[in-house]
Amino acid sequence: LRDFEKREGCKIVEHFNGCGSLVANIKTVGQSESSTSMPDAFFTCDASYMTKVGDLFGEAKDVSGTDVVMLVRKGNPKGLRTLTDLAKEDLSLGTTDPKASTLGDLSWQLLEKAGVAETIKKNDSWEVTTPTAHELILQMEAHPKLDVTLVYLANCQNLTKGKFETIAIDDPLAKATQNIAVAKVSKFPQLSARLIDAITSTTSRERFLKAGFDWKVAGSSQR
């Protein structure tokens, strides 16, 4: 984004938040008579959120992807293998807020599908919910009593080495794809389109891969 600003002589104003919160704000703005508060472009946490406001945006382009995984402590002391293991009574589980966060929404969809969501909610040991994955990772690092969290694999790149490990979740729901589109009422449609071109460029691809994401841009290498 900073490179694009220098190249184009513009200023990008970012609004970072969970997709649940972002979509709620976009819908509110979209229902008003004024479009001055509508973002020029929307970069999702998962493509499913673009469909919620698809009538307000142009064609979306897939950019990147990452998996939802179980993050446990090194050696997996609780012996967790699948989502059904998260229903154990003595287990302390952390997720992000399903109303505000895409990760939280996907996490609880997975738990519902595995048939353990209601059991987990009744367990006294289920105790941590954060607005964002970043805060959830900080909780995992700071509180040794937290046994497992559901996070994106890309969130785990900068964890303290040797203290944690990830467990893959074998379910299509555990895969999130991030896409981007320009608002139909954007005041800067051409500039926004060039921004998307920059975000989906070869240079950008290397940055996403380095950050632990898969690359989803059509016609290019995925990893």
Predicted structure pTM score: 0.86
> What pLDDT score was predicted for residue 143?
84
> How far apart, in whole angstroms, are the C-alpha atoms of residue 87 and residue 18?
26
Nearest 5°: phi and psi at 179?
-130, 170
> What pLDDT score was predicted for residue 94?
92
Q: What size, in residues, is the chain?
A: 223
How far, CA to CA in Å, does 71 sit from each of 79, 133, 152?
12, 12, 9
User: Under a CB-based contact definition with an 8 Å cutoff, are residues 95 and 149 in contact?
Assistant: yes
- Two tokens, residue 202: 């070869």
> How far apart, in whole angstroms, are the C-alpha atoms of residue 145 and residue 125?
10
SS3 175: strand
Is 144 exposed, middle or buried (CB count within 10 Å of its CB: 0-12, 13-18, 19+)? exposed
Chunk the chain into consecutive blocks of 10 residues (it has 223) and report each block's average pLDDT, rounded to whole numbers: 96 91 90 75 95 96 97 95 92 90 93 94 75 87 90 88 92 96 96 97 95 88 55
Other CB atoms closer than 10 Å to residue 53's CB: what's the count?
Answer: 21
> How far apart, in whole angstroms, are the C-alpha atoms of residue 10 and residue 204?
19
DSSP H or E run through 3: helix 2-8
Closest by Cα among 85, 35, 174 to 26:
35
